[in-house]
Amino acid sequence: MLAAGDSPVHKLHPSAKLVVTIAYIIITVSFSKYQLNGLLMMIIYPAFLFSSSGVTVGTCFRKLRFILPLVLAVGLFNPLFDRAAMIKIGNITVSGGTISMVTLMLKGVFCLAASFLLMATTSIDNLCAALRQFHLPPMMVSLLLLTYRYIGVMTEELSVMTDAYSLRAPGQKGIKFNAWGSFLGQLILRTMDRADELYNSMQLRGFSGSFTYADCKRFDRRDALWIVLWILLFLICRFLDIPGILGSLLLGGFS
Amino acid sequence: MIRFENVTAFYENDKPVLNGVSFTEEKGETIGLIGANGAGKTTLMRTLLGLLPHEGLITVDDIPVSEKTLPEIRRKLGFVLQNSDNQMFMPTVYEDMIFGPLNYGLDREEVDARVDDVLTQLNLTELKHCYNHKLSGGEKRMAAIATILVMKPEIILMDEPTSALDPKNRRLVINTINEMPETKLISSHDLDMIWDTCDRVILLNRGTIVADGSAKDILQNKELLEDNRMELPLRFSNP
Q: Express each pLDDT in B116-142 by its tens digit.
A: 999 998 889 999 989 888 899 889 999
Nearest CA distance, B98 vs chain A (angstrom): 8
Distance from CA of B95 to the nearest CA of A (A): 8
Instruction: Choose among A197, A200, A205: nearest Cβ to B99.
Output: A205
SS (H, E, C) B11-39: CCCCCEEEEEEEEEECCCCEEEEECCCCC
Residues B139-177 pLDDT 10s:
999 999 999 999 999 999 999 999 888 898 899 999 999
How high is the pLDDT of residue A26? 96
Q: Which residues of A touch B131 (CB under 8 A)?
A: 1, 4
The angle that helices B108-121 and B93-103 make with each other, rounded to 10 degrees, is 130
Q: Provide the shortest C-alpha distance from residue A187 to chain B (in Å).
A: 16
Q: Give A24's pLDDT tier (boundaries 50, 70, 90).
A: very high
Higher per-residue confidence, A71 vs B42: B42
d(CA B111, CA B108): 5
Selected residue of B52, B74, B86, B88 to mutate for chain A interface (largest A Cβ count, 10 A): B86
Q: What is the pLDDT of residues A43-59, one digit of tens each?
A: 999 999 999 998 999 99
With CA atoms as reference, the chain A residue closest to B74 would be A204
User: Are B108 and A149 a contacting pair at CB < 8 A?
Assistant: no
pLDDT above 90 for B37: yes
Q: Identify the contact set of chain B against chain A, taking CB-CB distances under 8 A.
A: 49, 51, 71, 74-75, 77-79, 81, 83, 86-87, 89-91, 95, 98-100, 102-104, 108, 131, 147, 151
Q: Among B17, B6, B76, which residue's Cα sits nearest to residue B52?
A: B17
Question: Is B91 close to A123, i.e. CB distance below 8 A?
Answer: yes
Q: Is residue A71's pLDDT more than 90?
A: no
Q: Which member of A1, A4, A212 has the closest CB to residue B103? A: A212
When pLDDT is cut at 50, 70 and 90, the band that residue A254 belongs to is low
Domains and CATH numbers, chain B: 2-83+155-237 (3.40.50.300)
For residue A212, which residues of chain B lie inside 8 Å, CB to CB?
99, 102-103
With the C-alpha atoms ordered B122, B125, B129, B133, is the resulting torsion angle positive or negative? negative
- CB neighbours (10 Å) of residue A10? 20
Q: Which residue from B98, B108, B131 is facing A1, i.e. has the nearest CB?
A: B131
Q: Minimum mean pLDDT among A219-223, A246-250, B80-84, B188-192: which range?
A: A246-250
Given pLDDT bands bounded at 50, 70 and 90, which one contains residue A114? very high
Average pLDDT, chain B: 92
Task: Report CB contact under 8 Å: B51, A200.
Answer: yes
Cβ B132 vs Cβ B83: under 8 Å: no
pLDDT at B223 over 90: yes
Mean pLDDT of chain A: 87
pLDDT of residue B13: 67
Interface mutation target, options B99, B128, B152, chain A, most CBs of A under 10 Å: B99
Phi/psi region, residue A54 (left: phi>0; alpha: psi -120 to 50; beta: rest), is left
Would the CB atoms of A205 and B147 count as touching at under 8 Å? yes
Q: Could you tell me the pLDDT band of residue A219, with boundaries at 50, 70 and 90? A: confident
